[in-house]
Amino acid sequence: MTTRRTLMQWAWAGLAVSGGLISRLARAGLPQGTLDTAVLERLVGKQPLIKRSYRPPNFETPLTYFDDSITPNDRFFVRWHLMGIAAVNGRAWRLSVGGDAAIKPYELTLEQLKSDFEPVEVIAVCQCAGNRRGLSDPHVAGVQWGYGAMGNARWRGARLKDILARAGLSNEVLEIAINGADHPVLDATPDFIKSLPAWKALDENTIIAYEMNGEALPHHNGYPARLIVPGWVATYWMKQITSIQAISAPLTNFWMATAYRLPKGKFAQADRFISQENELTTPITEIVVNSVITSHADGTHVKRGAPIILKGLAWDAGFGIRQVEVSRDGGRVWESAQLGVDLGRYSFRSWQYTTIPHEVGTLALIARATNNQGATQVSELIFNQPGYHNNVLHSVSLTVV
């Protein structure tokens, strides 16, 4: 049971907010509503992160932390939906595998999860569906994320399809429902349970991870085991999982039928969750192509005649990044950036671009990523009420002195 004392033990060491953080965020162009929640706090096991809410804990990674393609565990963002976050004992933990479309239900211990199935590894971006929601104009409700509700890690675990194979799936299987140890503290709050279409659950890249960057999963990122769904937004990446149910009918709870949905046809989607679609809306699934500048913030002073090495990250749903371009003139002319090492199609792809300013004043630089399908970032927000899929071009204005 989660107690107030337990929550406080997991909480923060009370790091004071620096005016520097707020000013850097303001220079990044974040609206006042997002700035109002920008408190720098330290969760146990984490570097100071940007607090977006205390209960449940939702903490964002500052852009300055993204100095490598792999996001260290202690810099990885934190996202929970429910306030009842369990203190899971790994030795006592059990994973139940069953459902009406499973032939042979069974249970797994953590050791069995590690030893009974072939271990696999995938490098993949975990990105909250509402990343950049705080930049929406007009304002929308929800956690007011800036740019850092995301991270990229090396996940190690067992294929979900292998775990399901041991249970045996009937021909009637339609979806795979996942539940976790987190729970609501009020009866009126719906438990956070999500489902995947059976075909996505059986994809070889969908895994149940027990390691993150070579270490046991941190508590705040889902210890002892979590679902990894490469290419899809993090609402499906269930943490502290306790139950996997193969079901023959669509899951109809709040988190599937009402939340995390988009107007039908608003965004192009290669991966459709057809059993959850209706006439008006469709579940959000894959990540849209995106990029961010990480090396410089708005207002950074640079010297005239000295090289500027602009750095950043690009990513998409797994099609792969074809190119990143940078413009110095408001988007009229684009020049290619140099792509970094390819760590896999689901990973962040680093990039850098070098330019030399020859005049004092303001130098605005814009980054744009294009994936191997030809999809590119948008110059204007595709507005939707939940604030999802914000992949507007990221820009910084530097001061040349």
Q: Which among 25, 12, 22, 79 is positioned nearest to 52, based on CA atoms?
A: 79
The answer to whether residues 173 and 248 touch, using CB atoms and an 8 Å cutoff, is yes
pLDDT digits (tens, 9 = 90+) for 152-171: 999 999 999 999 999 999 99
pTM of the predicted structure, to 2 decimals:
0.91
| Separation CA 131–CA 141 (nearest Å) | 13
Is the pLDDT assigned to residue 11 strictly greater than 70? no
| pLDDT tier, 319 (very low <50, low <70, confident <90, very high otherwise) | very high
Q: Give me the domains of the chain, ranges plus CATH numbers.
A: 4-75 (no CATH), 94-283 (3.90.420.10), 290-400 (2.60.40.650)
If you average pLDDT over residues 46-59, what whole number do you get? 95
Mean pLDDT of the chain: 92
Distance separating the N- and C-terminal Cα atoms of the chain: 58
Tens of pLDDT, residue by residue over 281-305, are: 999 999 999 999 999 999 999 999 9
Q: What is the pLDDT of residues 351-388, one digit of tens each?
A: 999 999 999 999 999 999 999 999 999 999 999 999 99
Distance CA(26)–CA(23), nearest Å, equals 5
CA distance 256 to 80: 16
The residues pairing with 123 across neighbouring beta strands, listed in sequence order, are 154
Cα–Cα distances (Å) from 126 to 231, 297, 310, in that order, read: 8, 23, 24
64 SS3 class: helix
Q: Torsion over CA of 98, 271, 379 and 398, rounded to 10 degrees?
A: 50
User: Which pLDDT value is given to residue 16?
Assistant: 33
Q: Place 15 in a pLDDT band, splitting at 50, 70 and 90.
A: very low
Average pLDDT over residues 236-240: 98
